[in-house]
Amino acid sequence: DTLKTSPDLIQRIYECILKECKKESLTYRSIAIRVLSLLADEYNFQVYELFWIWFEKALKQPDPDAEDQEMKDTDNDPILSDAYHRTLIECLPRVWPKIPEIESQYKKLTFDLLIEIILYSSWQIQLVVIQSLNQILEKSSTIMSTDIISLIEPIINLGPRTKASGLKREILKLLRILFNNSRYSICFNENENLQNILHFNIDEMIHDNRSSEISEQAKELKKLNEHLFKKIKKDIEHIEPTNIDQNDLF
């Protein structure tokens, strides 16, 4: 209550936390960035431009052809680096731009990097990415199907190929969000290839004999959204999986 009635105090706390976010220790910085994200979400601070610098530096894959590259934010201890990366991804929905102009500037950059993370990460990181994406899609009123269409295929392709039930559940949650919002679901009506990929992977999850829960969820999702499956050709060609060796992730 004191904070809400004292804008000056909030501003001073915000400025102090910003300084702490630049500490060298990834453990210390992770805590500061998490606090910053909570402040940004609660008090509408616009921090995404700064956050993006940290996010890209930590998570973007190095370009093998580039001679001079800035060092990634990593630690000699891979567990600390992984924890820092998870923190950044988890904070993404809370710092997401609230100003449409800033969102428009960064959404493609962000979604392209999320694709990269999904393709090169363990299932645990993939899970955090999809959880954060789901939160962003649920609260955004300006993101359109064209903004996320390139994300949908690699995520859906993970569904039947991962052994992790938690990841499967979050993928099905993503599909529910897409199906329940016409701004998103239109991409399945307009893109036959994506529709075929959807049908193929949903059927694979329906026949998943490792988890009856996942199978039932996938079956129910398809039943409730039959209109998105009607135009599917009966003879669906084999859909090649995304270039991920899931055996390396477990």
Tens digit of pLDDT per residue, the chain (250 long)? Answer: 555 668 889 999 999 999 999 998 999 999 999 999 999 999 999 999 999 999 999 999 877 655 555 555 555 678 889 999 999 999 999 999 999 999 999 999 999 999 999 999 999 999 999 999 999 999 999 999 999 999 999 999 999 999 999 999 999 999 999 999 999 999 998 899 999 999 999 999 999 888 899 999 999 999 999 888 875 554 444 545 555 555 444 4
pLDDT, residue 62, reads: 78
Whole-angstrom distance, CA of residue 49 vs CA of residue 93: 14
Q: Give residue 141's identity as a one-letter amino acid code.
A: S
* First CA to last CA distance, the chain: 46
Contacts of 201 (CB under 8 A, 6+ apart): 156, 157, 159, 160, 239
Contacts of 193 (CB under 8 A, 6+ apart): none
Contacts of 198 (CB under 8 A, 6+ apart): 156, 175, 188, 228, 229
Whole-angstrom distance, CA of residue 9 vs CA of residue 13: 6
pLDDT, residue 71, reads: 54
pTM for this structure?
0.86
Beta-carbon count within 10 A of 195 CB: 20
Q: Residues of CATH 1.25.40 domain(s) within the chain?
A: 113-234+241-250
Two tokens, residue 239: 């859909």
Backbone angles phi, psi at 225, to 5 degrees: -130, 45
Class of domain 113-234+241-250 (CATH, top level):
mainly alpha
Two tokens, residue 186: 């239109």
